[in-house]
Amino acid sequence: MPLGLRLTRSAKVLERAFNQAMISAGGSAPVWQILIACKQRGGWNQNELADAIGIRGATLTHHLNAMEDQGLITRRRDPENRRVHIVELTPAGEHLFGRLRQAAVSFDHRLRDGLSTDEQAAFERVLDTLVDNVRARSTSRGS
């Protein structure tokens, strides 16, 4: 099987399993990405947040609306640019972050089961190389 197809299939299986782990803990993979980004750096504007987690602005807005309705985040206008909303976690968002973090750590342990430290490091290098190869190819086509 070609490496690209095998990698795509594996990624889909892992993505579904990770999302299910997040759902079981009361969230979802996109909610986790938003919460962790907000936790790592508070006060994102929506465009920065969309770029940081790699989703389109409209998709992010959909998730943020739902998260705001659930009391997980607040959005306030940026005093320097009223068209921009600043996204921050609420106490309920902090609480959900803790639950999802536990689920993410458990999932990570499950993924690493049976892999030595050397195997994990080698796998991470391979993944980084694959990403670099794709980015280099995309960059060279654009020049």
Give residue-wise pLDDT tens across range 106-130. 999 999 999 999 999 999 999 999 9
Residues in the chain, how many? 143
Q: Which amino acid is at 13?
A: V
What's the pLDDT tens digit per position in 86-104? 888 999 999 999 999 999 9
Alpha-carbon distance of 35 to 67, in angstroms, equals: 10
Q: How confident is the model at residue 143 (pLDDT cuts 50, 70, 90)?
A: low
Cβ neighbours, 10 Å, residue 3: 8
Q: Widest CA span of the chain, in angstroms?
A: 54
- State the pLDDT at residue 136: 86
- In terms of Cβ atoms closer than 10 Å to its own Cβ (0-12, 13-18, 19+), residue 91 is exposed
